[in-house]
Amino acid sequence: MELGQYLWTSLGAFLTLSVFSFLYKDNPMYKFAEHLFVGVSAGYFVIILWHDGLVTNLFGRLADGHIYKLWLDSTKWWYIFPGILGLMMFTRFSHKWSWVSRWPVAFYIGIATGLSIPLEMSNRVNRQLYAMMEPVNWDSFMGSGWLDMGAGYSDIIVFVGTVSALIYFYFSKAHTGVFGGAAKLGIWTLMIGFGASFGFTVMARISLLINRIQFLDKNWKRNSFDFTNENFNPLYQALFWLIILIFLVYAVSEFLKYLKNKNASSVKSA
Amino acid sequence: MNWFERFMKLDRRWIYLFLITVCLLAYYSDFTVPTIREKETGAIYNFIDSLPAGEVIFVAIDYDPSSQAELHPMTYAIIEHAFRKNLKVVFTALSQNGPGMADQAIHDIADSMRVEQTYNGVSYPAREIANGVDYCFLGYKPYYALVITAMGQDFRTPFPADYYGTPLDSLPLMKKLHNYDDISIVVEVSSGNISDAWISYGQGKFGFPLAMGLTGVMTAQYYPFLQSGQVMGIMGGLLGAAQYEDMADNPGLAKDGMRVQLPAHLVIILFILIGNIGHFASRKNRKNVQS
Amino acid sequence: MRRQLPFFFVFLFGTFMVVQNFVPHEYSERAKEFLSDWTIIIGIFALALGIWSLIHVSLDKINKRKPNWEYSFVTLVGLVAMIFFGFTANVSGSWLTYFAALMVLLISLWLLVQGILGAGAGVTKAKEKFFAGIGLAAIFTFIALYDKSWAFHFYTSEGLENPLFKHFFSDIMVPLQATMFALLAFFISSASYRAFRARNLLATLLLIAALIVMLRFTPGPWGDLISKTSTWVMNVPNLAAQRAIVIGIGLGMVATALKVILGIERGYMGKG
């Protein structure tokens, strides 16, 4: 790894450890990292919106026109209007003219909601209902082996579970009697679903931590001690230990502060 | 206060320290966790593996750096598999922080293809991956639902040029590609609501085969779409990525990370058990004191 | 009129998009393509509104000396620096004047903003700061026009290839965002210890399902059994539960969208 790349990786490692230091306590290093992230990600988003959005979809289409003619001489001059509608969004910041921003909002809310109605109804509701009403596998009702998901009884559990969970979500009728019993079965089914989600969530969260460990080890620590690398520099190790030292000093100072407070509180109570 | 109640009041930082210690010990130890090949991931691998050379696949890298831990390994595994099979790939990144990571992933994989490799006993020669010939990176546009629907008519509607500003019509690969009808499969790797949009606004309207790479948090929610046939395969979290890497004989970060997953899961289960034992013991103790 | 006309447009465009879905004629598809294209462009401007809010909040925090106001400087410097990197490319490989220009830009922007906000926002010597800002902006413009070692690229994507832009993304943004979410691993462990109680049948069912799924890749003789059980749980009871939720969400989305199109739901337009 070259020196330049190593310095950037070390910065990434320092910021990673700064964020992890929040687990002990909020501290200036964490605050610095947090505020830096907010600023840099906002700046990144502006650039992506400009280069990937406005330049290609708006200015690119008006490129054969001239700015001093307000692009009216362009072959696709009608693209000026979404530009104007977009600029109207910025009137939101004025008390007097904020009503103007309702026009572009109306445009895209209308289109987005209109697009969603038939497609969401078709794909989330209809197709799921069709899939729920698949024929039961009576030929192999008990299945083969332990908990066979292709067995007939599994098909019945899916159907009964879905219907009872839908019944649970129907709050316009009191959950009493047979209806209440079905709702109870529904909440049991939902709890199993939530438990499965929780199991996957634990795996997901741990994966995030594992990735950071892999980054700190493979990208940073190994390159700090990679003596076979032709670009290796003693500065790599110095920087590695300096960053570790910063966090060690912080940890030791916090521990000493904790001991001091503990002694002070024990003297007070005595 | 008995020792159960004292245990219940344990400072959470000791819990954090215990978890990180177990993770580090597992990471630096030398054991492996066997990878089970599940049907959901196998369906995606087998589909891509069966495509003849020259076919085009669409990979939507729709996630932020917050989910890269689980999704980057599966992205790398799929793209590398596709390039090895001499498939052409069209990329897009409909998540706002995704384009940079997608660009980085494409360049990393293009670099790795310059070295001859052997996977599953088959030798793949080194080759150059060229932008506009072997792949095209469309970039980012806001309002993914509209973008997905618009691409069904023509890619040029939302993406008149690629991420690097080159008009699509000047790219050799894109000259013969117009919409989803020219694509063999869409592999969608995402961490948020974009997956729902691909199902409703993409697959639901245009009927193309859709495979999904999802974070662990979302995986359980997409089984209904798998069963209904709207989605032909799911890679769920780091486990899904490890399974794909195993099938492709291309071990990477996912397979490496799985050996830390199991001890970490056991630690979480231990905390749950201790928490419950402590809770019931202190409840019983309180009842005894009251009586 | 200021409210009625926008609501009418929502109804008009919404109804058109619903009807268009069932009309596969070429003109209908072209109209939809046209409207989608316009919406994407308008959306770009809408998303930029959030950036102004961030700037406004940071400036307010600094001027009113709210807690941790010093860190807002870091936010603003990060924002301006990233935008500068994204719009520029270094041509000659010499970075001295490039960074000097960035420093001049940062200071001039700060002085100009302070001058514009004025005494009402708690700024002292606003007039002097404004004119100093103008002076520095002129120096920046001079450097930008005559320094050949770097250049602005507004309409081409050289900025995206700027190594500083790429490094800020991959070595600052990516590690920070990834690590902030990695903290959740610790929080979930603490939550498991303190909150996850099998108090009743429902919580116990949830707990058992979670345990089965968490242990699905355990090696050993029990591993196959747990794995098969986990697969059954995912594909049968979990499928039933999630399907009900998906159907419920779908019906809710359709109902909300209808309410918006018919003008029953009006909160998105704001007050006034």
pLDDT score, position C249: 95
- pLDDT average, residue stretch C28-51: 89
Of residues C38, C244, C258, nearest to A166 (C-beta)? C244
Q: Mean pLDDT lowest for which of A134-143, C101-110, C186-195?
A: A134-143
Q: Please state, in angstroms and rounded to a whole number, the distance separating the CA atoms of residues C35 and C15.
A: 13
Q: Is the per-residue pLDDT at B185 higher than 90? A: yes
Q: Within an 8 Å CB–CB cutoff, is residue A123 touching chain B?
A: yes
The interface residues of chain A toward chain B in range 149-168, judged by CB-CB distance below 8 A, are: 158
Check residue B49 and give its pLDDT. 94
Paired tokens of B74: 């599966």
Interface of C with A in 195-234 (CB under 8 A): 201-203, 205-214, 216, 225, 228-229, 231-234
pLDDT score of C63: 84
Q: How many CB atoms lie within 10 A of CB B237?
A: 28
Predicted local distance difference test score (pLDDT) of residue A116: 93
Task: For chain A, say whether C23 makes contact (Cβ under 8 Å).
Answer: no
For chains B and C, count residue pairs whose Cβ atoms are closer than 8 Å: 145
Sign of the four-CA dihedral B48, B54, B56, B59: positive
**pLDDT given at position B1:** 55
CB atoms B269 and C211 under 8 Å: yes
Q: How many residues does chain C have?
A: 272
Rounded to an integer, the average pLDDT of A215-237 is 87
How remote is the C-alpha of B206 from its chain's centroid?
23
Question: Quick check: A121 pLDDT over 90?
Answer: yes
What value does the mean pLDDT of chain A take? 90
Rounded Cα gap, residues C96 and A167, in angstroms: 69
Question: What pLDDT, on the 0 to 100 scale, is given for residue A115?
Answer: 92
User: B30 pLDDT band (50/70/90 cuts)?
Assistant: confident
| Span C86-102, average pLDDT | 86
Q: Residue A137 — pLDDT band, cuts 50, 70, 90?
A: confident
* C167 half-sphere exposure, CB direction, 13 A CA radius: 14
In this prediction, residue B233 carries a pLDDT of 96
* Confidence at residue A270, expressed as pLDDT on a 0 to 100 scale: 65
Instruction: Give me the amino acid identity at C205.
Output: L
Pairwise CA distance, residues A247 & A259, whole Å: 18
Contacts of B37 in chain C (CB under 8 A): none
User: Which residue's entry shows tokens 């080159």?
Assistant: B166
Show residues of chain C in contact with A215, CB under 8 Å: 175, 178
User: Is B160 close to A57, i.e. CB distance below 8 A?
Assistant: yes
At B117, the pLDDT band (50, 70, 90 cuts) reads confident
Domain ranges of chain C: 1-66, 68-195
**Is a pLDDT exceeding 90 seen at residue A1?**
no
Rounded percentage of chain B residues whose pLDDT exceeds 70: 98
Give me the half-sphere count of Cα atoms (radius 13 Å) on the Cβ side of residue A174.
Answer: 2
Q: What is the pLDDT of residue C120?
A: 66
Tens digits of residue pLDDT in C243-267: 999 999 999 999 999 999 999 988 8
Q: What is the mean pLDDT of chain C?
A: 89
Sorting pLDDT into bands at 50, 70 and 90, what band is A148?
Answer: confident
Q: Name every chain B residue with its beta carbon within 8 A of the beta carbon of C195.
A: 275
Interface probe for A, chosen from B15, B210, B228 (most Cβ of A below 10 Å), is B228
Q: What is the pLDDT of residue B2?
A: 66
Residues B69 and B65: their CA atoms lie apart, in Å, by 8
Q: Chain A residues with CB inside 8 Å of C166's CB?
A: none
> What local confidence, expressed as pLDDT, does residue C121 receive?
67
Query: Hey, is A142 helix, strand or coil?
Result: coil
Give chain B's mean pLDDT. Answer: 91
Contacts of B82 (CB under 8 A, 6+ apart): B48, B57, B59, B89
Whole-angstrom Cα distance, residue B261 to residue B27?
A: 9
Mean predicted confidence (pLDDT) in C142-158: 85
What pLDDT shows up at residue B196?
95
Per-residue pLDDT, C272: 53
Give kind and range of the element (H or E) at residue B123.
strand B122-124
Interface test with B, best of C26, C28, C36 (most B CBs within 10 A): C36
In the block, which residue shows the tokens 């390159």? A223
Residues C174-186: what's their mean pLDDT?
95
Note the pLDDT of residue C122.
Answer: 67
pLDDT at C12: 94
Q: Given this model, what pLDDT does residue B207 score? A: 94
Residue A263 has pLDDT above 60, yes or no: yes
ipTM of the shown complex = 0.90
pTM to 2 decimal places: 0.91
Q: What is the distance in angstroms between the Cα of A98 and the nearest Cα belonging to chain B?
A: 23
pLDDT computed for residue C271 by the predictor: 66
Contact B172, B133 (CB under 8 A): yes
By mean pLDDT, which of B30-44, B129-143, C9-23 is the weakest? B30-44
What percent of chain A is modeled with pLDDT above 70?
99
Decide: A120 and C254 in contact? Cβ < 8 Å: yes
Residue numbers in B near A41 (CB within 8 A): 97
Interface of B with C in 85-104 (CB under 8 A): 96-97, 100-101, 103-104
**Predicted pLDDT at B53:** 93
Which chain B residues contact residue A44 at CB under 8 A?
A: 97, 100
Q: What is the mean pLDDT of residues C167-177?
A: 95
Best mutation target among C156, C187, C192 (most B Cβ atoms within 10 Å) is C192
Q: Of C191, C176, C227, C216, nearest to B216 (Cα)?
A: C216
Average pLDDT value for residue range B120-147: 91
Q: How close C83 gets to chain A, by Cα (Å)?
A: 5
Chain B nearest C-alpha distance from C96 (Å): 26
CB contact B34 to C (< 8 Å): yes
For residue range A30-83, list pLDDT tens digits in order. Answer: 999 999 999 999 999 999 999 988 998 898 888 888 888 888 888 888 899 999
Which chain A residue's Cα is nearest to C68?
A31
Mean pLDDT of C215-221: 83
